[in-house]
Structure 1
Amino acid sequence: MNSVLSVENGGYLNGCGKNLYCHKSLQSAIPGFYHDMNGKAERPDTTVLKQKLGRLAIHECPRQVQVATEHLIQKARNCMVGKTDNHDQDGIKTMTPENPSIALIGPGAIGTTIAAALHEVGRTPTICGRSALKQLELRHDGGRILVPGPVLTAPAAIETAFDLVFVAVKATQIDAIAPWLSALCSEKTLVCALQNGVEQKTLIEPYLPGNQVLPSVVWFPAQREPDSSVWLRAKARLTLPDTPATALVTKALAGTLCSVDVTPDFTSVAWRKLLQNAAAGLMVLTGRRAGMFARTDISELALAYLRECLVVARAEGAVLSDQVPQDIIDVFRRYPADQGTSILADRSAGQPLEWDCRNGVIQRRAQARGIPTPISDLIVPLLAAASDGPG
């Protein structure tokens, strides 16, 4: 049975009157607590349960356990009186608008952050990726969150479509996740793209049976550490367009460490973030992190580049003030000197770069409109060569 379909508030509760599986950590704390060989739920000793959960909370994910404790107890009691809580006849959690089934493709820095945010409040997604990681770890100012695995690596193992799928891979990896999109999505599935750029719908929709792609703007810096954990260096926040489909994502992330803003002018917000990403590409050309923007020559170059990009953004419908380029430079100067960016991390790792969706798109849109971009015409070929070679 695919237990990830029935996650709720930290516990896997599959089939009242059948076997009930706690959160992985709770299973180890209370082995066999919800298991009954005769197919009937055992009466829980709630005092013992609370004591063991309390001890567990000292060592692991205290906030999640606190949320889960009373919920799990109530679930067990419900089973005693025959309440089924939206389970079908096979004991698998049915999909409802109040409790959408969620999957996530790409447990990198951004994907791990979203997975951890969902897991902490008991909405653990089915996590899909290239490596069968045993768990994901997010470190942030509030401590750490461990998301149990394993990460699924075989699209063929997926037996049913999901209500909501977060796509958290790079724009350069869309072709590679086509089998996952096919396995996870139906015509009714909403795909929320956690990606850079302003072409998310254009890139993903060709791989879907429907056309429900919700773009987003990701506003938080998260980076992979040498021990494979992810360090969230600021408050997690997303911006989404104001559409009917948006409600599903806001509901899924409600009460999590990731806040969600909804805007009627998503074009302007997306292009502002694109300008910020474009300027961050200069870090690749220097091999330096945010501290380089303290140099006057670098900040002047970046400012000229951003002003050039601003003209293109406005031509594409973004409403951005003349102050935006300077505001972006000020943001980089406020960053810790050692703060990097995902495109610099990819360059350091010898991975393909998102140069086209972060920089090339501005040049392409400008050329289509006859707008001169002399600085882009210099920067984009250098980024493309750094990514794709040859040499």
Structure 2
Amino acid sequence: MATKIIPVVAVVGPGAIGTTVAAMLHEVGRTPLLCGRTPRDHLTLLEDGRPMTVPGPVRTSQKQITHAADLVFLAVKTTQIDAAAEWLSALVGPQTVVCVLQNGIEQIEMVRPHAPGGHIVPAVVWFPAQTQSDGSVRLRGEARLTLPDTAAARVVAQALQGTRCAADLAENFSSLAWRKLLQNAVAGLMALTHRRSGMFSRADIAGLALAYLRECLAVANAEGIELGVEVPQEILGKFQSAPADMGTSILTDRETGRPLEWDIRNGIIARRGRAHGVPTPISDILVPLLAAASDGPG
């Protein structure tokens, strides 16, 4: 009988998203290799107050990697890609699939220079996960990813098969990625106000958010993306129905003084709008404010 070859899976960036994926894999006996900046002997995921422990250690040196992985979940933020380049160099070989768990719609363009030999798969992350003050991660919904319907993406879906992290293969991946981009773009308002989802219950904020989402939709449509006129209201409704204390990653970065992903979440709307001659008056105000909040000076 032939020996079953167990694929080597690595998670680079065991933050909120990386910890969630690692925990889902560990739960079914597929504990991944953990790679990051901070040495830890384990990760902790909290669901409904119940902790799940993912055994480490979290490796902090690329010298601890002896061979390429079959699958890498890249879960660092876009502002941290350059810092993760050495991990990709150590982990990615000609057959390695790199699943990019990042915001935005430019994952392939941003990661390709650092993993020229791998097969890069963009993903849309739909689940809310938040890092807590003690380093644990709180998962506040069902874990779900959307992937393009490609051969490399099927490797990712197979690795997650049987876990509680659903991996959907979608022919309309670009439309779904843009829909998530609209959701992330309007969440930038939370970083500017230092407020959580409850702020969208204000009529003035709801009006601003809806106008901004419609601006983003106009740019998406100019890109040839099929999203209907109902999408802005649906996204706003999602924020309004969320728990009032629900945060978002860009708000967390603002609160902790880390660089913001303002360009790939908000700047891209203005950039693509200019390319198509679509006016983006709200973006023209929000983007400089987010950029200054992130990068200064001052």
TM-score (norm 2): 0.98
Q: Does 1:387 align with 2:294?
A: yes
2:178–2:220 CA contact under 8 A, matched in 1: yes
Match of 1:372 among 270, 279, 296: 279
Residues 167-316 of structure 1 mapped to structure 2, 5 A cutoff: 167-316=74-223
1:90 match:
none
1:14 match:
none
**Unaligned segments of structure 2, at least 5 residues:** none
- Report Cα offsets for 1:53-105 as digits up to 9, x if no partner: xxxxxxxxxxxxxxxxxxxxxxxxxxxxxx7835xxxxxxxxx4xx3210110
Q: Does 1:114 align with 2:21?
A: yes
Shift of 1:342: 0.3
Q: CA RMSD in A?
A: 1.2
2:12 match:
105
1:322 match:
229
Larger Cα Rg: Structure 1 or Structure 2? Answer: 1
Shift of 1:145: 1.3
Instruction: Report which structure shows greater RCO (CA 8 Å, sep ≥6).
Output: 2
Distance 1:202 1:361 in 2: 13
**3-state secondary structure, aligned to 2:58:** coil
Q: Which one-letter code corresponds to 1:275 in the other structure?
A: L
Distance 1:252 1:384 in 2: 37
Distance 1:252 1:259 in 2: 11
1:161–1:183 CA contact under 8 A, matched in 2: yes
Provide the aligned length of Structure 1 versus Structure 2. 298
Q: Which one-letter code corresponds to 1:328 in the other structure?
A: I
Shift of 1:264: 0.2
**3-state secondary structure, aligned to 2:52:** strand
Distance 2:284 2:62 in 1: 40
**Unaligned segments of structure 1, at least 5 residues:** 1-82, 87-95
Distance 1:142 1:105 in 2: 25
Identity, % of aligned positions = 61
Distance 1:256 1:143 in 2: 18
**3-state secondary structure, aligned to 2:204:** helix
- Report Cα offsets for 1:86-143 as digits up to 9, x if no partner: 5xxxxxxxxx4xx321011000000000000000101111000001111000011383
**3-state secondary structure, aligned to 1:181:** helix
Distance 1:268 1:195 in 2: 16
Runs of 4+ in 1 over 4 A off after TM superposition: none
Residues 136-151 of structure 1 mapped to structure 2, 5 A cutoff: 136-141=43-48, 143-151=50-58
Shift of 1:346: 0.3
TM-score (norm 1): 0.75
